[in-house]
Amino acid sequence: MSIQQENISKLVERRANAKLGGGEKRIEAQHQKGKMTARERIAMLLDEGSFEEFDMFVQHRCTNFGMDKQHYDGDGVVTGCGTIDGRLVYVFAQDFTVSGGSLSKTMSEKICKVMDMAVRNGAPCIGLNDSGGARIQEGIDSLAGFGEIFERNILASGVVPQISGIFGPCAGGAVYSPALTDFTLMVKNTSYMFLTGPSVVKSVTGEEVSQEDLGGASVHATKSGVAHFAAENEEEGIATIKELLSYIPQNNTEEAPRVPTNDPVSRADDSLNEIIPDNPNKAYDMYRVINSIVDDGKFFEVHKTFARNIIVGFAHMNGRSVGIVANQPNMLAGALDINASRKASRFVRFCDAFNIPLVTLVDVPGFLCGTHQEYGAIISNGAKLLYAYGEATVPKVTVTLRKSYGGAHIVMSCKQLRGDINYAWPSSQIAVMGADGAVGILYSKDIKAVEDPEEQKRIRDEKKKEYEDLFSNPYQAAQKGYIDDVIEPRNTRFRICRALEQLAGKKESVPAKKHDNLPL
């Protein structure tokens, strides 16, 4: 065998060993937990044969605590690029079979390299997390590595889409990288996120709690809102990431890919003419409206189980990707609260950053009241949504279906927040408040001055009808130009699609500034 052949043989052997990570036994242990390895996840995520790996032979440089005797090529993270449906993406996947996926300085350097390449080349960056946290043996070097990653998350924000998949533990400082990205997905029963684990919680507070109850997928997808998606298993999680990418562009200078559809723009739906109940206090399901107006009835929801009084997600309309924000009358009557405001404002800002038009469906009676909301800063949280819509320069089409009262009316992409096209159904009610509350304020003295209860009721009903005649329809707002047109519900899809077509070339900007100071 020639020297050249011998060198090639060594290369092939070393590559094969590197692909085994921590070895066959640790791979088997990973499988026994119901988890895939880093390389298996990447293979499932990317188009077959498209993965180009970087830094396969990188090793850590730590010599403390016997680490000089433990070396693995790749050092606990697999990094590189590939394609998903033919589109370039950069990816890193932590390898739990090597030192529990704990972060070393060299691991951070590998991750930072692909993040830098993603920004330079204008492509999404996907991180698959499965790590025990910082590598304790490296001390401050490991912490510095986390800091380098976080800084790149910040600099890449709004430049390229960043997606985090949590496929195992993600604890301590490690949680901040996913928190800085655009979307976070977790897997039920095998992934968790928390700053301090159950044992630390017990020693500090005395509270006993399991890993799942402290930071599992269901907790973060329903209670905290940290996770945008909670998958049943890793296969579903990876499929969700791939589907999410189909709605978003490569970077902030491009638009999302157009998707051909046979669903006619002019398709009308007569059921929408009957969907609003005669009783204004009766609920209906906003999903029926969304599914009726989007291409092929397909809606990709984000934050499905968190703050369910507002709905956000992606769809296509005439092949164009859009972000949909809609109040849900079936939950809390569609009122806005702290979590709904946070959820929607984050989504609106993502869409604006990445050139995705916004379609807003309004049926909101106001902001949720009570001490819990006020003490929890509903004022500043509601202002986040107000701010998000007000600064957004993408095309904004708003349809008011029924109630649009008070400050909540302003917050939900009204004309004064630079809404481009604002439509209303004939059933819409645009006012400071509902008729009952308004009459109680406007005519309180007149009603109390009458002793006869029957006469009080007659006056209240008369004044209520007077208020309803004035505001329980969209025409006063339309007369003042705050509503561009009153439309027949059955034609909602057609009118939105045509508005989006009109706005496709929209150019709008905000005053020059270093950065804004939104109410965090």
Inform me whether the pLDDT recorded for 39 exceeds 80.
Answer: yes
Residue 512 lies in a domain: no
Question: Both 479 and 466 in a single domain?
Answer: no
Secondary structure class of 152 (helix, strand, coil)? helix
The range of the structural domain enclosing residue 139 comes to 3-245
- Burial class (CB within 10 angstroms; exposed 0-12, middle 13-18, buried 19+) of 301: middle
pLDDT tens digits, one per residue of 339-381: 999 999 999 999 999 999 999 999 999 999 999 999 999 999 9
Question: Both 398 and 441 in a single domain?
Answer: no
pLDDT tens digits, one per residue of 315-325: 999 999 999 99
Question: Both 445 and 393 in a single domain?
Answer: no
Mean pLDDT of 80-95: 97
pLDDT at 168: 92
Inform me whether the pLDDT recorded for 59 exceeds 80.
Answer: no
pLDDT at 62: 63
Question: Both 453 and 390 in a single domain?
Answer: no
pLDDT tens digits, one per residue of 215-236: 999 999 999 999 999 999 999 9
Residue 462 lies in a domain: yes
Which CATH number fits the domain that encloses residue 119?
Answer: 3.90.226.10
407 labelled catalytic? yes
| Whole-number Cα distances in Å, 434 to 178, 346, 364 | 42, 29, 11
Residue 82 lies in a domain: yes
pLDDT tens digits, one per residue of 481-504: 999 999 999 999 999 999 999 999
Question: Both 301 and 379 in a single domain?
Answer: yes
22 labelled catalytic? no
Residue of 127, 172, 215, 390 marked active site: 172
Contact present, 290 and 311 (Cβ < 8 Å): yes
Residue of 134, 408, 431, 478 marked active site: 408
Question: Both 85 and 102 in a single domain?
Answer: yes
86 labelled catalytic? no
Question: Both 227 and 336 in a single domain?
Answer: no
Question: Both 341 and 489 in a single domain?
Answer: yes
Which is more confident, 417 or 470? 417
pLDDT tens digits, one per residue of 381-400: 999 999 999 999 999 999 99
What is the count of structural domains for the chain?
A: 3
Residue 83 lies in a domain: yes
Q: And the tokens for 287? A: 């999903």
Question: Both 466 and 477 in a single domain?
Answer: no
| Percent of the chain predicted with pLDDT > 70 | 98
Comparing C-alpha atoms, which of 169, 174, 177 is closest to residue 211?
169
- Burial class (CB within 10 angstroms; exposed 0-12, middle 13-18, buried 19+) of 365: buried
Residue of 122, 406, 407, 440 marked active site: 407
pLDDT at 156: 98
Residue 398 lies in a domain: yes
pLDDT tens digits, one per residue of 111-169: 999 999 999 999 999 999 998 887 767 778 889 999 999 999 999 999 999 999 999 99
State the average pLDDT for the chain: 92
* Band of residue 66 on the pLDDT scale cut at 50, 70, 90: low
Question: Both 409 and 442 in a single domain?
Answer: no
